[in-house]
Amino acid sequence: MSPRPIPEDALEERFVTASGPGGQNVNKVASAVQLRVDVFRLGLSPESYKRLKTLAGSRLAQDGTLIILAQRFRTQEANREDARARLVALLDKADERQARRIGTKPSKAARARRVDAKKARSNVKAGRGKVSLD
């Protein structure tokens, strides 16, 4: 699980009918779980919230509600666990900070090799010009 506990009052579960295979059972039983999470109650840092907005995309509503639909399994309980696991994975990914990029400069020898290669290529192209019959 995540190091940060998810408060239960921030979660709301709705059970809806799933789509896809399952025979008659899929039409009778509301086995899919729609997990609604109030993101503002999670106490995320501003950076984590910004990354979560990017990761969630259209699953994050304007009012700060994150909607996760889990319908991979045939039972409510399995879909419920799947939805919570996906929520935890999403929050963990939002908490990760990207490594800072350190800019580098090419060495003097590398710059010289590049210029030499450009000169050689230029000579090859210059040799392709029109032939003058002088």
Tens-place pLDDT, residues 41-97: 888 888 988 888 888 888 888 888 889 999 888 888 899 999 999 999 999 999 888
pLDDT of 85: 92
| pTM for this predicted structure | 0.66
Positions of E strands within 6-70? 11-16, 32-38, 65-70
Roughly what angle, to the nearest 10 degrees, separates helices 76-95 and 46-56? 130
> Which amino acid makes up residue 33?
V
* Tokens encoding 44: 């995320």
Q: Is 23's pLDDT higher than 80?
A: no
The answer, yes or no, to whether residue 9 has pLDDT greater than 60, is: yes
How far apart are the C-alpha atoms of 7 and 92, rounded to whole Å? 15
Tell me what pLDDT residue 1 has: 43
**Domains plus CATH for the chain?**
8-95 (3.30.160.20)
Weakest mean pLDDT among 4-18, 84-98, 118-132: 4-18
SS3 state of residue 125: helix
Kind of pairing between the strands at 32-38 and 65-70? antiparallel
Do residues 7 and 26 touch, judged by C-beta distance below 8 A? no
Residue 2: per-residue pLDDT: 44
- CA 80 to CA 33: how far, in whole Å? 6
